[in-house]
Amino acid sequence: MITALVIMVIGNNLARAFGLVGAMSIIRFRTAVKDTQDIVFIFFALAAGMAAGVGFRLVAFAGTIFIGAILLTLSKTNYAAPKKSEFLVQFRYKDGEGESPYIQILQRFCKRHRLVNMQSIGQENLYELSFYLTLKHKDEGTELIRALDTLPQVSDIRFFYDEEPLK
């Protein structure tokens, strides 16, 4: 629908087409947009603004009402909203000999876990580990943190979803 609005605004005008490409490239490369709904809104605002700016007030008004109503409905129903099932857990681990005890805890609380970053902290055998994980039960984040905190080798535990700490 937004693309149809853009096509109506651009028409056969090459200058408008290059203006749209330039505006989108500035938005895309200057802003790190992670949520797809934000990208849709930015593209929609750009298309409606171009329509109003070139004098297609009726197209801008009708597009804003129609597309805005659909976006409002989709956001209120949480349709296509990301599921809060994947988390990021980071912690420091003092490596000793033998198997890592945090693996058993991750297996107990998680359907899946995947190491995405391992960084040496500077002290001998001290590492910062980052895991993407999917909990077996979405409300067990606090229990996972408590279980990891009982290990003497583990410290500085951080649990994230969408860049916001849970604890």
pLDDT of the residue at 66: 92
Mean pLDDT of 5-33: 76
User: Is residue 163 very low, low, confident or very high in pLDDT (cuts 50, 70, 90)?
Assistant: very low
153, β-bridge pairs? none
pLDDT of the residue at 166: 45
Residue that wins the pLDDT comparison between 47 and 97: 47
Digit-coded pLDDT (tens) for 44-69: 888 888 888 888 899 999 999 998 89
DSSP 128-164: EEEEEEEESSTT-HHHHHHHHHTSTTEEEEEEEETTE
Contact 167, 90 (CB under 8 A): no
pLDDT of the residue at 85: 64
CA distance 140 to 143: 5
Residue that wins the pLDDT comparison between 162 and 6: 6
Predicted TM-score (pTM) above 0.75: no
Digit-coded pLDDT (tens) for 105-140: 888 888 888 888 888 887 777 888 888 888 887 777
pLDDT of the residue at 75: 78
Mean pLDDT of 11-23: 82
Residue that wins the pLDDT comparison between 59 and 86: 59
Mean pLDDT of 14-40: 73
Contact 128, 118 (CB under 8 A): yes
Digit-coded pLDDT (tens) for 137-155: 777 788 888 888 888 888 8
Q: Within 13 Å of residue 86, how many CA atoms lie on the same side as its CB?
A: 10
Mean pLDDT score across all residues of the chain: 80
pLDDT of the residue at 61: 93
Cα 79 from chain centroid (whole Å)? 16
